[in-house]
Chains A and B, each alone.
Chain A
Amino acid sequence: MAFPLPRGVTASEIAFLAEMETVTIVPRQRLEGLELLGGPIEPLVPPRRASLPLWLALLLKRQRRANIIPPTWLHPEPLALILEVESQHQDYKNAFSPPPPLPGQPSILDRDALPSARPQYTPDGNRYYAAPPFLHQNTAQTVASSRDPPSLPFHWVEVGNLLLDAASDDLVDPDQIRRLLKDLREVRMAKMRSGVDVLDAAATGGGGVALTGVGSMELGEDRGFITGVVDGLRRIGSSKEQARREQMAEQRANGGYDGTQDDDEEEDYMEF
Chain B
Amino acid sequence: MSYYDIDSILTDAQKLPCTFELEVPGLGILEGNAGEDIKAGTRIDLPLWLGEMLSIGARLGTSRLVTLDMPEALSERVMNALKADPRTLDLRALAPHFYNLSERILELFEEEEMVDVLGDAFKKRAADIADHAHNSRGAVGGGVDFLRGLDETERQLFRVAHDRAKDMRIWTGEAKRK
Contacts and interface: CB of A to CB of B under 8 A. Distances in A.
User: Are A and B genuine complex partners?
Assistant: yes
Interface of A: 6, 8, 10-12, 15, 161, 165, 189, 193-194, 196-197, 199-200, 217, 220-225, 228-229, 232-233, 235-240, 242-243
Contacts, number: 94
Interface centre among A6, A194, A236, A239 (most CB of B within 10 A): A236
Contact of B157 (A11, A228, A242): A228
A176 B123 CA distance: 37
Given A11-B170, A15-B171, A225-B160, A237 B131 contact: no
Contacts of B133: 225
Chain B interface helix/strand/loop/mixed? helix
Nearest to B130: A193
Interface in B138-169: 153, 156-157, 160-161, 163-165, 167-168
A223 B172 CA distance: 18
Contacts of A194: 127
A236 B110 CA distance: 13
Interface in B89-140: 99, 102-103, 106-107, 110, 112, 115, 118-119, 122-123, 126-127, 130-131, 133-134
B102 to A, nearest CB: 7
Contact of B119 (A8, A200, A224, A225): A200
Nearest to B154: A232
B85 to A, nearest CB: 16
A183 to B, nearest CB: 14
Interface centre among B130, B131, B173 (most CB of A within 10 A): B130
22 contacts: A8-B164, A193-B127, A200-B123, A220-B164, A221-B167, A222-B161, A224-B160, A224-B164, A228-B156, A228-B157, A228-B160, A229-B122, A229-B123, A233-B123, A235-B99, A236-B102, A236-B103, A236-B122, A238-B103, A239-B103, A239-B106, A242-B107
A189 B153 contact: no
Nearest to A241: B115
Given A197-B127, A228-B160, A240-B112, 11 more contacts: A161-B172, A165-B173, A189-B134, A193-B127, A221-B168, A225-B160, A225-B164, A229-B157, A232-B153, A236-B115, A240-B106
B160 A232 contact: no
